[in-house]
Chain A
Amino acid sequence: MARLTLKVNGTAREVETDDPDTPLLYVLRNDLALTGTHFGCGLAQCGACTVLVDGRAVRSCIAPARAVVGSEIVTIEGLGSPERPDPLQAAFIAEQAAQCGYCTAGMVMSARALLARTPRPTEAQVREALAGNLCRCGSHARVIRAVLRASGRASEAR
């Protein structure tokens, strides 16, 4: 058993694992009970498992836990709560930008990374930043609107 210390949502968390290559996703969901990060493909193709690592959007399904030791990890739970959503989450709520919602947390995290580096993105930049996040229900137009709303920009998407 190896011990890893991960800094998650501002708190140092110690986890035990017998495989330090365990993807971060499984550590977050099963060891830290942070189940807002979802398993979608395990192949870094869909974005449902997106978290922030040192501010960058990372696919936690293929990121080995040991590789993020010492980094600042932020999950969807680190932004806000249903009672106190952060401004980006509040914009998703205002736009009702989720159907089944399984892909939504990953989109919020990708958008969070975008807004951190580009606080007032164009609609094209929003679309590009979310190009690796798949949605099957078809919530895309609302998601684009929500991100633009959070950035203080009006959307052309309807």
Chain B
Amino acid sequence: MAAGLSRRAFLATSLAAGGALIVRPGGDGLGAVAPAHAQSIPDADRFLGKSLAPDAVDSYIAVRGDGTVTIFVGRVDLGTGSRIAIRQMVGEELDLAPDRIAMIEGDTALTPNQGGTGGSYGVARGGVQIRRAAATARQALLGLAATRLGRSADELEMADGTVCARDGSGSVGFGELIGDRTFDLKVDAKAPLKPHDRFRFIGRSLPRPDVPEKVTGHHRYLQDLVLPGMLHARVIHPPALGATLERVDESSIAGIGGARVVRIQSFLAVVAEREWDAVRAARALRAQWSGGGGLPDHAREFDLMRAGRIERDQEVARRGDLSALSAPPPGMRTLRASYRWPMQTHGSIGPSCGVADVRPDRVTVWSSSQNVHGLQNTFSRVLGVERAKVRVIYMDGAGSYGANGADDAALEALLLSRALGRPVRVQWSRQDEHGLDPKGPAQLLDLRAAVDKDGEIAAWETQAWLPIATANLPHIPLISLDSAGLPQTPGRATGLIYQNIDPPYAMPNLNAVVHWVADAPLRTSPLRAPGKIANTFAVESFTDEIAALARVDPLEFRLRRLSNPRGVEVLQKVAARMGWQPRPSPRRADRRAAVMTGRGLAYVHYKHEETIVAMGMEVAVERATGKIRVTRVVAAQDCGLMINPDCVKAQLEGNILQTLSRALHEEIRYDRDRVTTVDWASYPILTFPEVPRLELELIQRLDQPPLGAGEAASTPVGAALANAVFDATGVRLRTIPFRPERVKAALAGQGGAGRG
């Protein structure tokens, strides 16, 4: 296409002038040139050289001469809505409509390092930090205006980008006050925040700015980025994890559109001008590998955890006297159960992608990483280039819930661009993403309780076997650094997976301990609400088991032991919505019925200090097939201040449906060499026909801080489901996933099969 080529030539020159541009070849959208990242502003690079210090107002906010406000956000929007919510927080403090605020996300050259995007902290920490910066800026603007207008600051107010005297005698625009100059101020943690009774933007469900582009196919994802001269690459990952590349037969791809092989030790890739040629070449390339693998027997995964080397024990909670567990007095009953949550993948719908342009004087990498600043450090070290010359720019990819393959694909693009001296785009395959993304680790929990004749919990013990994370690990190890023979700090990342192994209920005698297992079969990373999904599954299932043993209604059992009024409120809201009739589980029903129905609930106080969720579920279980149909999910959530309630609601929906998928269907399997569940057929997830009716209640707390909405509601899902299945069938399921064959076997064993 001649037109495309000439445009490329034109753009190549403008790129050389320093701008990072997207070129869209082809006939649509004549000469379409977009800024380096889709949510950015066209001339974002005018801000290069700005402050990046985390404590400086100028790091977060800039006012241009024309009065336009731009904010710089280190934590990115992964589809959660922080792109609007953070604008609402800044707009509130500056009395400026959110749609008049431009926002730049996750660009190491432009945004301060606020830490990686995760932990439900996008708004709760990142947003709050920027809101304080905006409040500090507000005071500064009022002060400048007071001088300019000859008034005292308390005679002034803000409206639509101006500061004006309340008596209408004068006004001055933000641009006139500070335009194109810096605030030169530290963020003042004590700068007054607007009181909630004067909120104009916070608390409103304003629409997200990215949705119209996403539903019309106009949103620019990382996968859509095209640079002048860019090569398409596919990496041929070893057939067995860590295998050594012995020999490559380059003739095997001869004749495929000029595709060629790049090899750096055991790092093997093919590149081509045209993407399909790279795909074909990757499929056709013959290579000989040796060694690698050495994975343990998947069927024994949990046994091996229990028997594995323990690095150390960690006491998460301990109080009182536990003797009732080992030497129960007469009349005391004891109960024990093991819960298992298997290894699972992020399952991003779009496989990871990375684009890199390594030049002698500067390095630019585009990535959907949740940690662009971490990547900048890693790449600076890998290349031996000073950090300031490495720029990592976030662009949206498919949803990521901890750390999918994005960082790996970015590193691979970097290695290839360095080797070839041209921009390179690496696109992972579905098999790459399922097989190689860092996994949410398997978790094993043993619970014991002593229950007295009145149904009181005389003692509770949780023992959790969890893989240990490496302290101060600079970065999750990247697979292709090892293949390429490049050094990196070995280790493991998991997130804070020990939290919530202890119950949230009042009880005098408690022990909750983690046995930190030295190793795990595959590379791991945080995966949404790290650890706490499995931990809450165990704790809240076991709570139900105790209630059933005591023949007490599960709601009543929880309310009796809960002192936090916000916790009581969410449980009562769910109960009211469900029309909860008090009775013990399981329900009295015909155990031979073809379809058995039941209800269950679960509760969480996330990390014992953040968001509070109660969740009820109704299920129908088919005896003949073992298929569980979730018919209804009712949830109530208190996450403190909601900046944008509809975005919070979307997170609540997503937490429920994603975790329902994990609980019903998902388990990573591997043979001795590699992961074998590498597509959506071998690793199925929830589909539209399975989606239950969702009834959600959100509690707005205008006078409270925001506590985070991205994760908490995923944690009660497993237990609410298991408790509902128990209520329906009398069978307790303790091993995720609840696939039909497992459920059917448990039903056939009627109670016993679900044990242990």
Contacts and interface: CB of A to CB of B under 8 A. Distances in A.
Chain A contact-residue range equals 35 or more
Give the secondary structure class of B's interface: loop
B406 interface: no
B653 A138 contact: yes
B29 interface: yes
Interface of A: prevailing SS? loop
B179 interface: no
Nearest to B696: A158
B28 interface: yes
A1 B427 CA distance: 25
B213 A100 contact: no
Nearest to B218: A82
Given A48-B350, A157-B694, A96 B650 contact: yes
B218 A36 contact: yes
Contact of A101 (B211, B347, B348): B211
B349 A103 contact: yes
Interface stretch (B19-27, B486-494, B699-707, B721-729): B19-27
A134 B680 contact: yes
A46 to B, nearest CB: 6
Interface stretch (B163-171, B395-403, B540-548, B745-753): B395-403
A59 interface: no
Interface string B193-227: 00000000000000110111111111111011000
Interface in A38-90: 38-43, 45-46, 48, 75-77, 79-82, 85, 89
Contacts of A13: 27
A157 B693 contact: yes
A100 B78 contact: yes
B430 interface: yes
Contact of B349 (A18, A46, A128): A46
A132 B656 CA distance: 20
B10 interface: no
A7 to B, nearest CB: 14
B367 interface: no
Given A77-B218, A93-B212, A96-B207, A137 B399 contact: yes
Interface string B660-694: 00000000000000000001110001111101011
Residue from A29, A97, A102, A142 whose CB has the most chain B CB atoms within 10 Å: A102
A127 B78 contact: no
B440 interface: no
B687 A131 contact: yes
Contacts of A124: 689
A96 B349 contact: no
A137 B79 contact: yes
Contact of A43 (B396, B653, B679): B679
B221 A82 contact: no
B280 interface: yes
Contact of B217 (A26, A36, A42, A139): A36
Contact of A85 (B216, B686, B694, B696): B216
Given A96-B646, A99-B80, A105 B215 contact: yes
Contacts of A93: 207, 211-212, 215
A34 B218 CA distance: 9
B657 A100 contact: no
Contacts of A98: 79, 211, 214-215
B446 interface: no
A154 interface: no
B168 to A, nearest CB: 37
A108 B679 CA distance: 23
Contacts of A105: 214-215, 217
Interface in B385-417: 396-401
B28 A100 contact: no
A97 B657 contact: no
B654 interface: yes
A141 B691 contact: yes
B55 interface: no
B553 interface: no
B349 A135 contact: yes
B59 interface: no
Interface residues of B, number: 70
The winner among A22, A138, A143 for most chain B CB atoms within 10 A is: A138
Most buried by B among A19, A80, A100: A100
Contacts of B689: 124, 127-128, 131
Contacts of B398: 40, 100, 102-103, 136
A155 to B, nearest CB: 10
Contacts of B396: 100-101
Interface string B552-581: 000000000000000000000000000000
Given A102-B350, A137-B654, A77 B216 contact: yes
A17 B256 CA distance: 12
A128 B536 CA distance: 33
A85 B657 CA distance: 28
A40 B346 CA distance: 14
Contacts of B276: 17, 19, 22-23, 26, 30
B223 A38 contact: yes
A158 B697 CA distance: 11
Nearest to A88: B215
Contact of A30 (B221, B275, B654): B275
B696 A45 contact: no
A40 B347 CA distance: 11
A139 B348 CA distance: 14
A142 B79 CA distance: 14
Contacts of A148: none
Nearest to B647: A96
Contacts of A126: 688
A77 B28 contact: yes
A33 interface: yes
B188 interface: no
Contact of A82 (B1, B213, B685): B213
A110 B257 CA distance: 34
A130 interface: yes
Highest count of chain A CB atoms <10 Å: which of B210, B280, B350, B351: B350
B257 to A, nearest CB: 6
Interface of B: 1, 24-29, 32, 78-80, 207-208, 210-221, 223-224, 257, 274-277, 279-280, 346-351, 396-401, 427, 429-430, 646, 650, 653-658, 679-681, 685-689, 691, 693-696
Interface of A: 13, 17-19, 22-23, 26, 29-43, 45-46, 48, 75-77, 79-82, 85, 89, 92-93, 96-105, 108, 124, 126-128, 130-144, 156-158
10 contacts: A18-B257, A31-B26, A32-B27, A35-B220, A42-B279, A96-B208, A134-B687, A137-B654, A139-B654, A141-B657
Which 4 A/B pairs are nearest by Cβ-Cβ distance? A36-B217, A101-B214, A138-B654, A76-B217
Given A77-B216, A101-B211, A134-B680, 11 more contacts: A18-B277, A26-B275, A76-B217, A93-B211, A99-B80, A99-B650, A102-B350, A105-B217, A131-B687, A137-B399, A156-B693
